[in-house]
Each structure stands twice: as C-alpha cells, then as structure tokens.
Amino acid sequence: MMRLTAVLFFWCSILSFISCSLKQPVPGNVYRGVLADRIKGFDPSQCSDLYSHICQKQVYEPLYEYKYLARPYDIQPCLAESLPRISADGLEYTIHLRKGIFFSDDLCFPSGKGREVVARDFIYSIKRLADVRTRTTGWWLFEDKIAGLNEFRFSTRQLKTSDTADYLSDVAGLAATSDSTLVIILTKPCPYFKYILTMSYAAVIPHEAVEYYADEFLNHPVGTGPYILKEWRRGLRLVFEKNPKYVHGLYPVEGGADDSAAGLLNDAGKPLPFIDRLEYYTFTETQPMILNFLRGNLERSGIPKDNYNNLINPDKTLREEYTDQGIQFIRAEDLDLTYTTFNFKDTLLGSRRKLRQAISLAVDVDKIIDLFYNGRAIRAQGPIPPGLFGYDATFRNPYQGRDVERAKRSLAEAGFPGGRGLPEFEYLTQANTTSRQMAEKFTADMAEIGIRIKIIGVTWPEFLERLKTSKFQIAGLAWMADYPDPENFLQLLYGPNEAPGENAANYKNAEYDSLYRKITVLTDGADRLACIKRMQAIVAEDCPWIFDTHRVSESLCYSWLKNYKPHIVSPEQVKYFRIDTDQRKRMLGQ
C-alpha cells in the first residue's frame, strides 16, 4: 500500500509540475486568430481562399479598400490618394497615389531597405497577373476589362517558364503618367471595377521580390501593409509584427448610430494598427479551436456545428455561462448562395422546365437549414443575397419551399406521373461527410415524388473537372461574393459564361443575357434595379437552379477585443482591432 501511495504521489507531482509549467503568461498587445486551414501562401496572384486572403491582407495592400464600418459596403482609398477620377464615358480611371508609401525592408532590395511605391509597380502587378505563367486564380477578374491586357496575356503564352516576360512593353490600358499617377483604360464601362481594385489580386508587389525569390516568392511576402511576416510554421502558426514603415492608416471617423452606440467610433481618427503582434493558429479540427477559445487562448472563434447546441440557446442567444465570461455572440448575414444546379446539356433536365420545377418544389430547404446549418441560414428566393443592391426581401420564388403535392402535379404535367418513365439521375457531390449527407437528404426528398437519385461522390479536382466539362446532371454548389455587386451572382447564369465558364448549368436565355449585358454597364439606380428584378423573375420561372440558402455567419469573441465589426466581403480587418490588455489580464486572471 505504501508503495502504491508513493507511486501515486510521484505521478501527481509530475502532473502538477507539467500543469504549473503550462500557466502561460497573459499575452501583451497580441491578437490570436484562427485559420481553419493551411494557407496557400503570400502571392496575391494565388489568393483564392479565405485564409490566404486574411493573411495576405496584413502584408499587402491594393489601391482601394472597403470602408470598415459602412453598410452597404463602400470603398475608400488605401494606397490611392483619393477615389478614382472616372471619365464621362466610364472608360478611363485616373488614380493618384499616396506619396511616401514604402515597401517593407527586405533582402530583395539593394541594401535591404524598402523603396517607395510608384505607379509602375501597379502596372507590373497587373501585368504579372495577366502573365500566363503566373498561374493566377484571378485572371477572370481582369479578363476583357483593361484595353490591351488580353493581348499582353496572349504574348506571354509564347514564353517559356524560364523567360523573363517583357513587362516593359506597353499595354494600351495601363499607363503611369508620373510616379504617382496611374491611368487605367477599360474596354467597356464596368461599374464594379472599383471593387476589383480592392481585392488581394490587385495588391501591389515589388518586382524585386518576384525576381529575387522566384519560385519561392509566395513564401516571402514584401508589401506595404500594416504588418510584416515574422514567423511561418506551416500547419501550426503564422506570426506578424507591426510594419514600422506603415504610416498611412487611420481609424474611420464616420459610422452609423449603431456603430457609435457600440463604441466602434471611440478610436476615430487614430493611427493604425493598434495591435503590435498577430498570431494566427491553424486548426484543421474544430474541437481544439473551440476549446482554445473557451480557455481564452484565442480572441475570436467560429462555432463548430457539433458544439452549437452546447453554446447557443434554442432562441439563438449565447448561453448565460458564456456571456458571464465576457463572450459575445456575433451574427452577420453572409453574401453567399448555396444552390443545386441542373445541367442544361442533359437533354431531359435541360428541356423540361416542369420537371425542374417539380424537383425544386420537392426539396425541403427548411430541413436542410435545420440539419446542416443549425438554423444558420435563410431560404434563398433568388440568386442575390441580402445586403446587395437588387435584393428584394418581398420576392417569393413560386418554386422554392417544399410542396410535395404541387411537385407531384408538376411532375405529372412534365409527362412523368409518379416519376414513371424517368431515368435515375446522377447527383454530383464532393466525397466528404457533410456533402454526402446533404446528397442523401436530396435523394430522400426526391424519392417522395418518385424520382430516383444516384449519388456520385468525387474529389474536389474531379468535381471541378466534371463541372467544367459538363459531365454531370445535378450538382450541389455554393458561391460567395467576390465583390458586393449583384453582377457577381448574376454572371453565373449568363449564357456566354457556359461551361467551362462559371455558368455550370449551361443555362441560356436570350432575354436574361441581354439584361445581364445592360447591368454590367449601368450604375446602381432605377434602371439597373428593374433589369435585376426581371432577371430574377426569369430564373425563378426557368428554374436552372434550386435556390437553397443564404448562410448566416455566427461567431464568438471576447469583450476585450474592441472595434470588432464583422465584414463579410473583407473579413479579419485586424488593423482596426484593439485589445484591451488590462481587461484581458483581469478576465484571464479570474
């Protein structure tokens, strides 16, 4: 017995020692953020995923950025001195740059000192995007928009990977009239071009870094942003520290009454950033993420599906035990759409509108929202999500919302009463658990009206390949806004964008296409709104998609994190955040 007691005592001592050594000091002016996946890297030309975007934004800057507090979303100058001066025909953008903006110090520069940003750097950055060999995921944003850029891209096709592209050759639509003046000439008016200039793809990069680091450029960011990368251990952590050369950011002085009441204007006009150091941790599993957050090791966290009911009450409020810990529950509507697309190249699905309507009516979207999103979504009535110009909260899609009897009638009118005479349809989905479960739900819904579904679960590359080559019948998809303009959603059904373009449905409607062409050149106003409403009515009736949901983003954050306001288009604007370090110390000490 004595020996057993001694052994137990030994192990308790070891555990206590380990436990004591774990008591991490409360961090100073440090923000500890979450990345739910590894990032691809720091090359703005490859910024196609959310987490790369979050990290790149700390280092790189474009000409314009979103106003932090303004809703609906609007832009303000970032590296530009003012908003662009646009010619009367909407084609010529004259942009004056801020003076005294420097790239961060880096080995790629002679003597290691970052040089001043000039207009030619933006031309270089855009040309690099157009260079075929860059393999950018963002060319589609610039394609056909800037005069002469398509031709420049074509010329790079002839080059070998090892050749240096002639970035000094002229592109008609890109000119630096002085070191601080950039002129961009478009091929046709594009009211949402200003939004493209806010994207990470449009960030300015120094050619010295691209040349110096070559293949490894994406691992060595050199930008003008508020932070510089200090440490990057893949799959674990990224650490950023304040960029000493960043001097041009100020906290907004304008905001709504809600912002003022929420204390979001307390730091109005103060220089940015407030936080000295950012630490982003990669969590590929949700349990360690939420547990670290609840322990106070992270400032913010999403709410994992499996933990939702433990954290949130049925009335969508945070449970009291967590509010007592100073945790806040933040809810914001995403600018996105989940939908199920039919392939119009399939002779049966493409030609039978009544059949598509029947399928749409049979889908139990409310159950999907309950089962797969914990109620964190609303039913989509059309392609445009709430918060964008053209969204009509009163519009009701006649074929959205479960109505099995109507679905059966519609199916009979299509010539297939009770599903008789129909083949088994293939439903294309990704081979992961949630996608598979959603496909099973779709199959069960269809079985109720007599339609048989075969689920085809494939890898993401194969999924994309099948969409691009139209080798599917029905597929589940989602789209998140790249920029806050309805065009970004409406282009998904524009005829000429058919596969391999973004119109995976291969839907074609002459009236819709004509209206789409109009809205791409019209500025927001009554004419544009009328066009959008008509387009929405057309697709509701034609049913190329089943409009499923617009998701709602919910997250948790501690009250010591100040100035946090969710920004769906450009999330994690950390340069505006401030940590009340005293409050955090107090609360974590408790």
List of residues contacting another protein (CB under 8 A)? 15, 18-19, 21-22, 38, 40-41, 48, 132-133, 135, 137-140, 157, 161, 215-219, 233-237, 281-285, 287-288, 291-292, 294-295, 297, 458-465, 467-468, 500-502
- Separation of first and last alpha carbons in the chain: 39
Kindly state the smallest distance separating residue 311's Cβ from another protein, in Å: 14
Kindly state the smallest distance separating residue 226's Cβ from another protein, in Å: 25
Kindly state the smallest distance separating residue 437's Cβ from another protein, in Å: 18
- Sorted by sequence, the CB contacts under 8 Å of residue 312 that are 6+ apart come out as 303, 318, 319, 329, 374, 554
- The C-alpha atoms of residue 542 and residue 529 are separated, in whole angstroms, by 20
Q: Which is nearer to another protein, 43 or 61 (CB)?
A: 43
Kindly state the smallest distance separating residue 292's Cβ from another protein, in Å: 5
Q: Which is nearer to another protein, 251 or 483 (CB)?
A: 483
Element (H, E) at 546: strand 545-558
Distances (CA, A) of 228 to 103, 234, 241, 339: 10, 17, 5, 39
Packing angle of the helix pair 365-373, 433-447 (nearest 10 deg): 160
Kindly state the smallest distance separating residue 59's Cβ from another protein, in Å: 17
Kindly state the smallest distance separating residue 79's Cβ from another protein, in Å: 25
Q: Which is nearer to another protein, 29 or 137 (CB)?
A: 137
Q: Which is nearer to another protein, 74 or 231 (CB)?
A: 231
- The C-alpha atoms of residue 61 and residue 205 are separated, in whole angstroms, by 9
Cα dihedral 232, 238, 239, 240 in deg (nearest 10): 100
Q: Which is nearer to another protein, 178 or 459 (CB)?
A: 459
Kindly state the smallest distance separating residue 55's Cβ from another protein, in Å: 14
Packing angle of the helix pair 353-362, 404-413 (nearest 10 deg): 160
Backbone phi, psi, residue 551, to 5°:
-80, 155
DSSP character at residue 353: H
Q: Which is nearer to another protein, 214 or 393 (CB)?
A: 214
Kindly state the smallest distance separating residue 147's Cβ from another protein, in Å: 20
Q: Are 136 and 217 within 8 A, CB to CB?
A: no
Query: Closest by alpha carbon to 281, among 251, 238, 338, 246?
Result: 238
Query: Closest by alpha carbon to 367, among 456, 445, 310, 479?
Result: 445
Kindly state the smallest distance separating residue 13's Cβ from another protein, in Å: 13
496 burial level (CB within 10 Å; 0-12, 13-18, 19+): exposed
- The C-alpha atoms of residue 326 and residue 331 are separated, in whole angstroms, by 16
Listing DSSP states for 238-285 in one string gives: EEEEE-TT----B--S---HHHHHTTTTTTTT-BS---SEEEEEE-SS
Q: How much of the chain is in helix, strand and coil states, percent to nearest 5? A: 40, 20, 40
- The C-alpha atoms of residue 55 and residue 41 are separated, in whole angstroms, by 9
- The C-alpha atoms of residue 445 and residue 364 are separated, in whole angstroms, by 7
Kindly state the smallest distance separating residue 191's Cβ from another protein, in Å: 20
Kindly state the smallest distance separating residue 330's Cβ from another protein, in Å: 22
Kindly state the smallest distance separating residue 414's Cβ from another protein, in Å: 31
Q: Are 156 and 132 within 8 A, CB to CB?
A: yes
Kindly state the smallest distance separating residue 87's Cβ from another protein, in Å: 29
Q: Which is nearer to another protein, 281 or 308 (CB)?
A: 281
Q: Which is nearer to another protein, 314 or 589 (CB)?
A: 589
- The C-alpha atoms of residue 79 and residue 65 are separated, in whole angstroms, by 9
Q: Which is nearer to another protein, 113 or 295 (CB)?
A: 295
Q: Which is nearer to another protein, 70 or 218 (CB)?
A: 218
CB atoms within 10 A of CB 347: 8
Q: Which is nearer to another protein, 131 or 259 (CB)?
A: 131
For residue 226, cis peptide bond before it (omega within 30 degrees of 0): no
Q: Which is nearer to another protein, 10 or 460 (CB)?
A: 460
Q: Which is nearer to another protein, 102 or 479 (CB)?
A: 479
Q: Which is nearer to another protein, 111 or 160 (CB)?
A: 160
Q: Which is nearer to another protein, 144 or 424 (CB)?
A: 144
Kindly state the smallest distance separating residue 395's Cβ from another protein, in Å: 27
Locate tokens 């050759």: which residue? 169
Element (H, E) at 534: helix 526-542
Kindly state the smallest distance separating residue 284's Cβ from another protein, in Å: 5
Q: Are 318 and 556 within 8 A, CB to CB?
A: yes
Backbone phi, psi, residue 162, to 5°:
-80, -15
Strands 237-242 and 227-233: antiparallel
For residue 72, cis peptide bond before it (omega within 30 degrees of 0): yes
Cα dihedral sign for 107, 110, 113, 115?
negative
DSSP character at residue 431: S
- The C-alpha atoms of residue 73 and residue 257 are separated, in whole angstroms, by 16
